[in-house]
A = this chain, B = another copy of it.
Amino acid sequence: MSTRSGTRADAARATDKRPGRPGSRREAHRRERMQELEDAALTLFLARGLDGVTIDDITQAASVAKGTFYRYFEDKAALVDALLEPVRRELLAGLETCGHALADARNVEAMFDAYRAMAAVIASALLQYPGVVRLYLQECRGPAVGARAKVAELARLVARHAVDITQKAHTSGLLRPIRPAVSGLAVVGAVERLLLAVLSEEDIGNPLELPDALTTLVLDGLRLPPAEPRPGRRKLDGGPKRP
């Protein structure tokens, strides 16, 4: 946070020490422009893919000159990183929290609570940054090169956390003896695919029923139990059944 120019030449000119720091007009305007660029870029990324969008495309869509882009971002990768930032923060924080909760879980209820909290974090990210989440989903499996590097990095972190969490739930002795690396990744895959369906507006019914369905699916499986005298009920949200 110091003012002297960092190690890498003037590379950090983007978000650092640029505007007249106080909450003054310059700064507000600066934020606006940045947001406009990010919005325009995100729309294009979703339509054509990260690599299918040029700086010219972005600046044209945002109605600014090309040079303006470089005043705000060092390159396309930096823009993607900025786009990803809030989602990454929320998501990783949620995963950490879920991990700790699960490490302490000693009964099924605590386990449910932990997963419920995780679902809430995801839902929150989905509502606040649907475009970014979709960008993540569509790019996260690609090779970690160029502008996609940060997306792929986040994907690795998510996978590791997921396996870690499953490991913890596992040591609580509440789960079947399946390798955490397997069940964890399977759950990540299922969740991601369903999120993609929601965000791509594939016909998937009421999204509010998803957490419930997913929980049943993950925890109890797909097969109809032979006979169920037990009245065990589970619910992730108290929402109405079919609004």
Contacts and interface: CB of A to CB of B under 8 A. Distances in A.
Contacts of A192: 189, 193
A197 B218 CA distance: 19
Interface string A181-216: 111011111111110110000111100011001101
A110 interface: no
A76 interface: no
Contacts of A178: 213, 216-217, 222
Main secondary structure of the interface of A (DSSP, over half): helix
B49 A145 contact: yes
Given A47-B143, A142-B139, A193-B188, A183 B222 contact: yes
A46 interface: yes
Given A176-B216, A219-B221, A182 B204 contact: yes
A224 B181 contact: no
A52 interface: yes
Contact of A224 (B146, B173, B185, B213): B173
A220 interface: yes
A50 B49 CA distance: 11
Nearest to A206: B179
B185 A187 contact: no
Contacts of A194: 182, 185-186, 189
B223 A174 contact: yes
Interface of A: 46-52, 108, 137-139, 141-143, 145-146, 148, 159, 173-176, 178-179, 181-183, 185-194, 196-197, 202-205, 209-210, 213-214, 216-224
